[in-house]
Amino acid sequence: MLTFYKANFSRILALLPASVAICPLALAIVLLPSLPGVYADEIAVQAEKLQQLRERINEIRDAIDSMRGQRDSLQGALKKTETEIGNVTAELRQLDSQIATVRQKIQDLYAERSTENARLDSMRAGLAQELQVAYMTGKQEQVKLILSQEDPATVGRLLVYHGYYARARVDRMQDLLASLQHMSEIEQTLVEKQAEVVQLRQQQANKSSRLVAEQDKRRKILGQLQTDLQSRTTELTTLEQDRVRLQKLVQSLTLALQDFPQDDVQYTSLRQLKGKLRWPVAGRITQPFGVKDAHGTLRTRGVLIATRAGSDVHAIASGRIAFSDWLRGFGLLLIIDHGKGYMSLYGQNRSLYKEVGEWVERGETVAAAGDSRGQPNAGLYLELRKDGKPFNPGRWFSGKPVPLQAAR
């Protein structure tokens, strides 16, 4: 019997995922190898957990597929946005070049118009001077020509030449004025063109800003989606590993049940002792059953009895030792199988006096209380279970634990 317990415990415990091994309910999974009925119940429980785990895996796979679809869609939209940003940037570059060209033409036109205006001013000044001289001396010249006894034809030609010269100057001035007018029209056209290009550039710049903002938004969403996808993928990997371990556990329990030895010891049902049990140690209950733990998340599955370090821990009823070793979350832990699916768990011990497979009687000293759970104060953690489920031990004991003073 002892060899069977040790062999099955090590085999089953090795198959448990770490997340299961640390919770109190998992102890029932690991430490119920003494009754075929309990084993059968445990197989059913683990099979149900395995089915739930498979369903959860399928849900996560569906979520991952959906996330991948969203990611691909976002990547396509991001590609389109970035392509548009590239096109708009190229258009902005072309518009900047056009604006620079138009502005240079306007500057050149300003310079040319300034030169033409200077010429026009010079011609106007020359013409005004000529008109003034002609007015002042015109009659004298005519008299001189008449008195000089020149040929009248010659005199006529000279007067005509003066007229031609004046009219030619006037014609040049008119051409210059026409040129200046044309320049003004070109300038107006260029100014309008510049305003049009500047407005178009502003529109494109606004579009570019919107696209960049959209790009940033999509990148952030894509980044978050990628993070969520990675998290779900990691979760899926972990669940797949748990599924394999749990499946192996079910197989191991099934095999163990097939070869389960018959125990010739007659158990006294713990139910017959309800209300008559004596507390395993003297002290005071500091943590009752069913209250929230220190983190405020889980409810306690047992009671904590404050006592002196090294105090004797007594078996509440006869039974066989199903577990005697250190376990995370419980410290040095002793479990007694009382038959009919009943078990008692004694945690936070300083020392364990019994080995797996040993038979103990009611009231027999089985351990020494301590603080092996990492607790600041010495005490004993006690749980009672039926078919792997913890229940309130309060009604099963006669009164409260014996005070420490009375125990001295």
What's the rounded Cα separation, in Å, for the pair 380 and 285? 9
* Tokens encoding 156: 């006529």
Residue 336 near residue 360 (C-beta atoms within 8 A): yes
Distance CA 30, CA 339 (A): 16
Q: What gap in Å lies between CA 357 and CA 55, rounded to an integer?
A: 38
The residue ranges of every structural domain in the chain are 66-231, 266-407
Nearest to 32 by CA among 69, 62, 5, 66: 5
406 pLDDT above the threshold of 90:
no
The neighbour count for residue 66, using CB atoms within 10 Å, is 12
Q: Rounded to whole angstroms, how far apart are CA atoms 263 and 299?
A: 35
What whole-number distance in Å separates Cα of residue 234 and Cα of residue 231? 5
- State the Cα–Cα distance between residues 151 and 155, nearest whole angstrom: 6
268: burial class by Cβ within 10 Å (0-12, 13-18, 19+)?
middle
Task: Point out which residues pair with 299 in neighbouring strands.
Answer: 292
Percent of the residues in the chain that have a pLDDT greater than 70, as a whole number: 70
For 189-231, the pLDDT digits (tens) are 888 888 988 898 898 899 889 888 988 888 888 898 889 888 8
**How far apart are the C-alpha atoms of 136 and 141, rounded to whole Å?**
10
Q: Which CATH architecture has domain 266-407?
A: Distorted Sandwich (2.70)
Which residue has better confidence, 187 or 134? 187
Q: Mean pLDDT of all residues in the chain?
A: 77
Q: Which residues of 116-140 are buried (b: 16+ CB within 10 A; e: fewer)?
A: eeeebeebeeeeeeeeeeeeeeeee
| Whole-number pLDDT of residue 18 | 42
Predicted pLDDT at 381: 94
Distance CA 173, CA 127 (A): 9
**Strand boundaries in 219-357, DSSP class E:** 284-287, 303-306, 312-314, 319-327, 331-339, 342-352
**pLDDT for 63 beyond 80:** yes
Nearest to 311 by CA among 273, 277, 350, 360: 350
Pick the CATH number of 66-231 from 1.20.950, 3.30.70, 1.10.287, 1.10.3470: 1.10.287
pTM: 0.41
pLDDT at 140: 57
Q: Which strand (E) or helix (H) includes residue 386?
A: strand 379-386
Residues 6+ apart with CB under 8 A from 336: 315, 316, 317, 319, 320, 321, 322, 343, 344, 346, 360, 366
Q: What is the pLDDT of residues 320-354, one digit of tens each?
A: 988 898 887 788 999 998 988 899 999 999 999 99
Give the model's confidence band at 11: pLDDT under 50 very low, under 70 low, under 90 confident, else very high.
Answer: very low
- Under DSSP, the state recorded for 292 is B
What pLDDT is stored for residue 279 in this prediction?
Answer: 94
